[in-house]
Structure 1
Amino acid sequence: MLDRLKLQHLRYFIAVAEELHFSRAAQKVALSAWDLSEQVRSLEDMLGVTLLIRHPHQMELTPAGEMLLRGANELLRDTLQLLKQVQDLGEAMQEQVRLGYFAPELEPLIIATFGRLISEGGLNLTRLNLPESALQQALLNRHIDVAVGRLMELQNETLACEVLQTGHWGLVLKESHALAAQEHVAPADLRTARLLLLSGHEKSNVMDQFHNLGVEPEVVYQPAQSETAEVMVEQGTGLWLTSSFMAETLPPGLVFRPLEGFAEMELALAWRQGDTSGEQIRDWLKGTG
C-alpha cells in the first residue's frame, strides 16, 4: 500500500492537521472539503492507522497523527531543499565553467575526473592550460572559475581547496633503460642524467627538491606536449621528469618509476570561496567518487 503514497498526501494531511478544520484546510490546498477528507482517509488506509479523531464539531490528532505532522513537515522541507539544490546545480552546469590546469600531462586525469560531469551533469567546461605559477592569480582575477593544481601552489585565504588525488614525482623512461629495473629511482643515480620537464611546470619547484638532496641534474628541454616528451624519451633524448598521474596513460615500451626522497604531490581542485559553481562541482565529484 505504501507504494501508492505521494508527497501530495502529506501536504494535504499537514494542512488539515494544522487547521483541524476541513473547510479552512481545503482553501489552503485548493480542494473541496469532501475531496480533502477523502485524501486523508486514503492516507490513513495506506498507513493502517488513524491520524485524526473526528467529532461532530471538531477534530483532534491522534498520537500517530502528531508524529506524522512533525515528520511530514521535516520531510517536505528537506525535499524542497534537495530539489532546489538540484535545480541550482542544473542552472550552474548550463553556464560555462572555465577550468585552469598547470601541465599537459594532467589532461587524461582532467578528462577522467570531469568526464562524467560533462556527459551526465551537462557541465559546459572550457579547459585552459596555464603555467603553474599563474593558476592562483587567474582564479583571484576571475579569469578562470576552478583550477586543478598542486595544493601548495593554490592555497590562499580567499580560495577553497579540495584534494583530488595524491601522487609523487618520478621518471618516464624506456623499459630497456637500466634504471627501469628498479622499483624506485634514487636521485643520486641522476647526477649526469639529461631530464625533460613539461613547460607547464615551474622548473625551480622540482629542481629545489633535487638540490636539497644534493643532486643537480640538468633539464635539457621543456616540451609543450606529453606526446612530444614521450617521443623524446623513446629517441633517447632524455628522461621525462613528471608526476605519477601520467603512469596509467603511457604507451607500450615506456614505464614510470617513482623518485626516492621527493615530497608527495597533492593535486587539488580550487575555487573562489562562496563561488557556487566551484562548490557544486566539488559536491558532484564527491558524490560520484
Structure 2
Amino acid sequence: MALTFRQLRYFLLLAEELHFGRATEKLHISQPPLSASLRQLEDELGVTLLQRSSKSVKLTTAGEVFQRQARRLLEELEESRIMMQRIAEGASGILRIGFTPAMLFRGLPLALQKLKSAHPGIEVKLLERSSSDQVEGIESGQLDIGFIHAMPLPDTLEKLTLASEPLLGCVPSHHPLAQRQSICLKDLCSDSFITFRRDLSPYYYDRIIGLFHVADLTPNVTHEVSHWLTVIALVANSMGVALVPKSLIDTQFSNVSFLPLADVSITHESHCIWLKDNEAENLELLISIVQGLQP
C-alpha cells in the first residue's frame, strides 16, 4: 500500500499534539480511524513512529526524522497546488529574451525574478546576443524582447530606456591615474585604449572616438572586443584603459579603478526593445515589471 497524503496529515497533527484525543478533535474523526492510519503508515515504512502508552505519546527518533520529511512533502504539495492554480488563472508559454552580458548589472535579473514569482507559468528563455543581433532577432520573430545598449533603431520597434548613466574612465588600480579624483580625456591617450569593435557596435565606437576627435585628441586604440565585461577584464589585467558605463562598477572586478571625467560629459543609455505590433500578454507583463523597476 502506497503512502497517502491523508496519512501524512494525520501523522503530522498527531506528532504535534502527542495526544490522540486532541488530534481526533481537530481532525473531526474518531480514534479508531486515526489509530488505523498510523498503523498502516508504520507498516508501510517498516518503523515505529510513535511510542504509545496509556499515559503518554512521544515521537521515536525515526518519528522525529519522518516528521520533518512529511512536513516538507506537504509544503511542496501546497506550493505545487498554488502554482497550478496560478497557471490556470494566469499567463503561460515561452518568452524569448535577448540580452547583452552587461544587462546583468542593470536590473534584468530582478525583473526576471519578479516575473517568475508573479507568473510561474511563463517559461523564460534567455539568449545572449549583441545589441544589433537582438534588433534583427526581434524583427525576424526569433526574439520577443531585447535588452540592448543604445543604438539607432528601426521604426518597427518600441523602446523603454532602462538607464542613462555617465561614462567613467577605467584604469588598472596600480596605474598613476588611479590616485586622482578625476581625469581628462587626454590622460587616456598615452596608454593602450580598449573599445568595442566598430563592425560590432559602430554607434558606440563612433561616439567614443568622436569624443576624442572633438577635443583634437587621438586615442591609441589597441584592443577591440565584443563585450563590456571583456573591456573590464582587460583593464584589470593591465592591458590598457577604457571608458565604460558607471553601472559596471557593480562587476566588482579587482585591480580596477573608475574615475569621473572632468573635461567632458557623456552618457550611455541602455534600452528594452520590442516590436510595436506585438501585443502578446507575456511580453506586456514583463514590460510592466521593467517599468515598475525604473527610478
TM bin (shorter chain): 0.5 to 0.7
What SS is found at the alignment partner of 1:168?
strand
Aligned to 2:101: 104
Q: 1:73-88 maps to which residues of 2 (within 5 A)?
A: none
Aligned residue number for residue 211 of structure 1: 213
Runs (4+) of structure 1 moved beyond 6 Å? 86-89
From 235, 238, 241, the equivalent of 1:239 is 241
- Deviations along 1:22-69, whole A, 9 cap, x unmatched? xxxxxxxxxxxxxxxxxxxxxxxxxxxxxxxxxxxxxxxxxxxxxxxx
Q: Any idea what the Cα deviations from partners look like across 1:225-282, whole Å, max 9, x if unmatched?
A: 5565444323321114322121122223322223452432221211111323433211
Amino acid aligned to 1:98: R
Distance 1:164 1:109 in 2: 8
Is 1:117 the counterpart of 2:122 in the alignment?
Answer: no
SS in 1 for 2:135: helix
TM-score, length of structure 2 as denominator length: 0.57
Partner of 2:166: 168
| Partner-residue secondary structure (3-state), 1:135 | helix
Q: Which amino acid counterpart does residue 134 of structure 2 have in structure 1?
A: L
Matched residue, 1:145: 144
Report the secondary structure of 2:95's partner residue: strand
Residue aligning to 2:61: none
Instruction: State how 1:41-52 maps to structure 2 within 5 Å.
Output: none
Gaps of 5+ in 2: 1-85
Task: Specify the alignment match of 1:131 in structure 2.
Answer: 130
CA RMSD of aligned residues (A): 3.0
Give 2:114's aligned amino acid: L
Kept in 2: contact 1:244–1:258 (CA 8 A): no
Could you list the per-position Cα deviations for residues 70-119 of structure 1 after superposition, in whole angstroms to 9, with x for gaps in the alignment?
xxxxxxxxxxxxxxxx989942xx32222223x43333335434342354
Tell me the TM-score normalised to structure 1 length: 0.58
Residue 285 of structure 1: how far off its partner (Å): 2.3
Indicate how the Cα distance of structure 1 residues 207 and 233 shifts in structure 2: closer, same or farther if over 3 A, else same.
same
Match of 1:274 in 2: 277
The 3-state SS of whatever aligns with 1:120 is helix
CA contact (8 A) 2:173 2:256 kept: yes
Q: Distance in 2 between matches of 1:235 and 1:216?
A: 23
> 2:191 maps to which residue?
193
Query: Aligned residue pairs: how many?
Result: 200
**Contact 2:98–2:127, Cα closer than 8 Å, also in 1:** yes
- The verdict on how the C-alpha distance between 1:287 and 1:229 changes in structure 2, with shifts beyond 3 A counting, is closer
Matches within 5 A, 1:62-73: none
Q: Residues of 2 paired with 1:165 and 1:88: CA distance?
A: 35
Report the equivalent of 2:17: none
- Separation in structure 2 between the aligned mates of residue 196 and residue 160 of structure 1, nearest angstrom: 31
Spell out the pairing of 1:24-63 with structure 2 (5 A cutoff).
Answer: none
User: Relative to structure 2, which stretch is displaced further, 171-180 or 201-210?
Assistant: 201-210
Q: From the superposition, tell whether residues 114 and 287 of structure 1 become closer, same or farther in structure 2 (CA, over 3 Å).
A: closer
Q: Distance in 1 between matches of 2:277 and 2:218?
A: 43
**Residues of 2 paired with 1:106 and 1:117: CA distance?**
16
| Other-structure match for 1:16 | none
Contact residue 97 and residue 143 of structure 2 kept, 8 A: yes
- Contact 2:159–2:274 (CA<8 Å) still a contact in 1? yes
1:52 matched to which residue of 2? none
Decide whether aligned partners of structure 1 residues 284 and 230 sit closer, same or farther in structure 2, where only a CA change above 3 A counts: closer
Q: Judging changes above 3 Å, is the alpha-carbon distance between structure 1 residues 140 and 124 closer, same or farther for their aligned structure 2 residues?
A: same
Gaps of at least 5 residues in structure 1 are 1-85
Are the aligned partners of 2:165 and 2:246 in contact in 1 as well (CA < 8 Å)?
yes
Aligned-pair identity (%): 17
User: Counterpart in 2 of 1:283?
Assistant: 288
Contact 1:272/1:278, CA 8 A, preserved across alignment = no
Contact 1:190/1:215 (8 A) holds in 2: no
Letter in 2 for 1:147: G
**Residues 269, 263 of structure 1: CA spacing in aligned structure 2 closer, same or farther, 3 A cutoff?**
same
Instruction: Give 2:270's aligned amino acid.
Output: L
